[in-house]
Amino acid sequence: MSLSRRRLFQRLSPVEASSPAEWIAARGREAGLTEFGEQGMAAGARPIRIASNENPLGPGQHVLDAIVGKFPEAHRYPFNAKQTEGALITAIAQKNAAKNENVLLAPGSGELLVHAVRAFTSASKPLVTAWPSYETPRDIAKKMGIPVREAALDGKLRIDIAKMVEASKGAGLVFFCNPNNPTATVHGKSAAVDLVKAIRAASPETVILIDEAYHDYVTDPAYGSMIDVALATPNVFVTRTFSKAYGMAGLRAGYAIGHAPTVKSIAAYKMPYGLGTLTLGGAIVGFANDAHIASERKRNTEVRNFTVKAFADMGVTATDSQTNFLFLDIKRPAAGFRDACRAQGVLVGRDFPPYEKTHVRVSLGTMDEMKKAVEVFKKVLGSTTTTSSKDKQQ
């Protein structure tokens, strides 16, 4: 019997389960229960999950079809599949006018951040990161006993370039998340280039990791990817992920691209064949479809504009978001806001010190989800809820 997409998911899906696209985007009901539990929600309620910066639609139909087409090869190791890691590496290299030696794959870009800390830092070579920023490099460094230098953000909650440069002297690795998570802010291409030049001048041996996880959602015309700079500059590399605009958070795929010797140093820590056959099949097809990513950017921008305006009408200001989430000054603890929203079926982000007493991160769902969520936010922001929450999610 042939394995059609419909037959496959009919066999795998429990009654009333989430759609296949939601599974792949890591937005299925089981994932929601794992992250947040059912405490504080009405029995049988299906939450609006806008806490994890996921693509609410999952991958496109072209990716779903490619994944289903790979099931007959699921019994093969990835290196014996018809399309191996080499096919995706070549596609990434060609699109960026690079060579295969400039590209390294991993099951999610988070693994690459971990490997970078392992490769370039030590007890005498600290990690430098903005704070708050994406935590993985800082957290793994602390677990390894590596010193961490945290550079506070500027008045607009953007990464402070001058502070990062000053902290970089003698450091092993500088982590520059652009756009930044959780603040959603971005620096333009010229500022990012200046950062690299200044660090190279102040501390030539320091490696610079530029995380562009949210690259595909940026609409600021001043912004530009730093891949070209990374390819041409020693000790610089960029990380990207398939977890955001490509909608594949549940399948785990990411890559590093940059100066070949730098990428080679990270590769020494990589687990061989970390990407499964289904992931590779979906990523190869998804990466080739620029039109789909452009459509996703347009959809996200429309939802972002709607949600920013809705909060502004409530008297709540957001940073200049260039991502698929907002960082909002609600002038009250995030914990109380989060618990009150959860009670009405809306799941928003966890605490982000040192702004947990005033700010909350809200991811962007579909337009329908955000219209419903906005009505909940209106009710909650009119209350004086002060209860606490211990929920955490990445």
Average pLDDT, the chain: 89
Q: What is the pLDDT of residue 191?
A: 98
DSSP secondary structure string, 32-51? Answer: HHHHH-STTS-TTPPPEE-S
- pLDDT tens-place string over residues 306-332: 999 999 999 999 999 999 999 999 999
Closest CA to 217 of 260, 181, 251, 253: 181
**Is residue 17 included in any domain, yes or no?**
no
Same domain, 115 and 260: yes
Confidence category of residue 42, pLDDT binned at 50, 70, 90:
low
Is residue 147 reached through a cis peptide bond, with omega within 30 degrees of 0 on the bond before it? Answer: no
Judge whether 167 and 198 are in contact, CB under 8 Å. no
Rounded to whole angstroms, the Cα distance separating 26 from 31 reads: 7
pLDDT band at 82 (very low <50, low <70, confident <90, very high): confident
SS3 150: strand
Model confidence, pTM:
0.88
Residue 72, preceding peptide bond in cis (omega within 30° of 0):
no
Residue with tokens 């506070």: 152
- Distance of alpha carbon 330 from its chain centroid, rounded? 23
Helices (H), 124-258: 136-143, 161-167, 189-202, 227-232
Please compute the mean of the pLDDT values over residues 224-253 and round it to a whole number: 97
369 plus 264 within the same structural domain: no
The string of pLDDT tens digits covering residues 259-309 is: 999 999 999 999 888 899 999 999 999 999 999 999 999 999 999 999 999
**Model pLDDT, residue 304:** 98
Final residue in a domain of this structure, among 236, 258, 288: 288
Shared-domain flag, residues 118 and 94: yes
> For residue 222, what is the domain's CATH number?
3.40.640.10
**Residue 167 is part of which domain span?**
63-288
376 and 345 in one domain? yes
Give the domain-ending residue among 288, 303, 325: 288
Instruction: Map tokens 């539990």 to a residue.
Output: 37
14: its two tokens = 């429990």
Hey, is 144 helix, strand or coil? coil
Tell me the H-state helices in the chain.
5-12, 20-24, 29-36, 61-69, 85-95, 109-120, 136-143, 161-167, 189-202, 227-232, 260-267, 277-288, 290-313, 334-343, 367-381
- Give dist(CA 356, CA 378) in Å, integer: 20
Contact predicate 36/393, CB 8 Å: yes
